[in-house]
Amino acid sequence: MNVKKFLESHKEIDDRINLDLEEIANLRALAERTTRYISLDGGGGKNGTKSDKVGNYAVKIADLEAKIDREIDRLVDIRDQIAEMISVLDDETERTVIMRHYILHEPWETTAEKLCFSSRHVQRLHKQALDALSEIWRDKESA
């Protein structure tokens, strides 16, 4: 894996967590609708099938929450590794560009505005930082 792929893995995990959170919200909404239907119905439907649905939703939600907890742990580990990796960059501005791009997932324009640079300059700083990190990465892998 190269350094850029490693840095991008943070966003991939973050995106998966957000998708899982959306799925939990959808499952909770379904479970609430099913629960309201059961209480209006006055029972659990034929052979308890409706209450089984609520139980199934609860199990799915619990499984997803456990999965999200594991993904969050991975995300924090990768974030710590990225922070450790970029801490060796000599240039503070390059460190800031890398953190804003790979940890905060900011667009170039936002980073440029905050640093009072052009987007083009921020992209050059990004490339310089990636080159430096790639060299550090290669040295680390060959050691």
pTM: 0.70
Max mean pLDDT among 14-28, 51-65, 70-84, 102-116 falls in 102-116
Q: Which two tokens stand for residue 66?
A: 């456990």
Q: Which fold has domain 87-143?
A: Arc Repressor Mutant, subunit A (1.10.10)
Residue-wise pLDDT tens digits, 13-61: 889 888 988 988 888 888 777 765 554 444 555 554 555 777 787 888 8
Q: Are 114 and 83 in contact (CB under 8 A)?
A: no
Q: How far, in Å, CA of 79 to CA of 10, rounded?
A: 7
Q: Mean pLDDT in the chain?
A: 85
Given CATH 1.20.58, say whether it is the number of domain 1-77: yes
Intervals of CATH 1.10.10 along the chain: 87-143
| Ramachandran angles phi, psi of 119, nearest 5° | -60, -40
- For residue 43, the 8-state DSSP code is S
Intervals of CATH 1.20.58 along the chain: 1-77
- Out of 39-43, 78-82, 111-115, least confident range: 39-43
Q: What are the strands, taking DSSP E only, across the chain?
A: none
pLDDT exceeding 90 applies to what percent of the chain?
A: 37
Residue 36's pLDDT is what?
56
Q: From residue 49, give the alpha-carbon distance in Å to each of 38, 53, 100.
A: 10, 6, 50
